């Protein structure tokens, strides 16, 4: 199987389609700090046993914050550029639910090229729970979907997921370092075949495979 890496010139620039593209270095460090703090808040709220008066006061504070922070809002689909090893380029929405740098709930931050594929580590807190103490099966699928999709974009073609299949081999624990890896396994016309897995302490907890289909970027 041969995978043709796409030349940079072949990658559509979202700015040409009317999307806002923001360089990572333009994002204030204070924003990235706030994103991390809100991730911790989500977990705290999901598990809090604070008394009603404390909860009501917190709601008021959060409403005020939302109003202030929401007063200036990025346009829908604002993207940032990711430069990968080997001159590859990729774009992702800043708010991407799984790897967006400004999304407080996105748990994937350190995706990188390794061994001809992509690799990332993450640790999911209690906000990602499904069964007691375990990562939700939907989040297992979401981690795989994002990494498989980015692998397709970086090594094959930008595309949307057409099919995602996940085999759950053993429970994936919360609050424990996880590794996600993926690689291209085939290319056929507009389809890119990608597979990957999640590992915990060296053991595979879930395997995923996806068919990504190259699509035109929609006009805004």
Q: In angstroms, rounded to a whole number, what is the distance separating the alpha carbons of residues 121 and 168? A: 18
**Should residue 52 be labelled a site residue for its own copies when binding is judged by CB under 8 A?**
yes
**Should residue 19 be labelled a site residue for its own copies when binding is judged by CB under 8 A?**
yes
**Should residue 30 be labelled a site residue for its own copies when binding is judged by CB under 8 A?**
yes
Contact pick of 13, 21, 89, 171 for its own copies (by CB under 8 A): 171
**Should residue 176 be labelled a site residue for its own copies when binding is judged by CB under 8 A?**
no
What is the nearest approach in angstroms of its own copies to the Cβ of residue 2? 26
Q: In angstroms, rounded to a whole number, what is the distance separating the alpha carbons of residues 212 and 220? A: 22
**Should residue 153 be labelled a site residue for its own copies when binding is judged by CB under 8 A?**
no
Q: In angstroms, rounded to a whole number, what is the distance separating the alpha carbons of residues 20 and 76? A: 9
Q: Which residues, other chains included, contact 175 with Cβ-Cβ below 8 Å and sequence gap of 6+?
A: 123, 124, 125, 126
Q: In angstroms, rounded to a whole number, what is the distance separating the alpha carbons of residues 94 and 23? A: 10
Select from 210, 159, 157, 156 the least CA-distant residue to 180: 210
Contact pick of 5, 8, 12, 66 for its own copies (by CB under 8 A): 66
66, containing H or E segment: helix 52-70
Contact pick of 82, 118, 119, 129 for its own copies (by CB under 8 A): 129
Contact pick of 5, 8, 56, 201 for its own copies (by CB under 8 A): 56
Closer of 3 and 44 to its own copies (Cβ): 44
What is the nearest approach in angstroms of its own copies to the Cβ of residue 87? 24
**Should residue 90 be labelled a site residue for its own copies when binding is judged by CB under 8 A?**
no
**Should residue 189 be labelled a site residue for its own copies when binding is judged by CB under 8 A?**
no
Q: In angstroms, rounded to a whole number, what is the distance separating the alpha carbons of residues 97 and 90? A: 16
């Amino acid at each position: 199987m041969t995978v043709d890496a796409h030349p940079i010139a072949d990658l559509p620039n979202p700015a040409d389609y009317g999307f806002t593209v923001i360089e990572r270095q333009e994002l204030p460090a204070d924003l990235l700090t706030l994103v991390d703090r809100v991730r911790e808040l989500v977990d705290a709220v999901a598990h809090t046993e604070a008394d009603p008066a404390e909860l009501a006061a917190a709601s008021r504070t959060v409403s005020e914050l939302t109003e202030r922070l929401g007063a200036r809002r990025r346009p829908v689909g604002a993207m940032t550029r990711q430069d990968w090893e080997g001159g590859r380029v990729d774009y992702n929405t800043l708010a991407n639910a799984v790897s967006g740098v400004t999304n407080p709930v996105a748990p994937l931050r350190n995706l990188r090229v390794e061994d001809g594929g992509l690799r990332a580590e993450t640790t999911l807190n209690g906000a990602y729970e499904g069964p007691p103490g375990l990562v939700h099966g939907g989040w297992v699928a979401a981690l795989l979907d994002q990494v498989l999709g980015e692998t397709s974009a970086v090594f094959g073609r930008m595309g949307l997921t057409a099919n995602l299949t996940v085999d759950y081999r053993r429970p994936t624990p919360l609050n424990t370092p996880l590794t996600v890896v993926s690689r291209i396994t085939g290319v056929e016309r507009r389809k890119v075949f990608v597979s990957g897995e999640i590992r915990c302490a060296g053991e595979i907890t879930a395997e995923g495979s996806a068919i990504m289909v190259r699509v035109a970027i929609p006009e805004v």
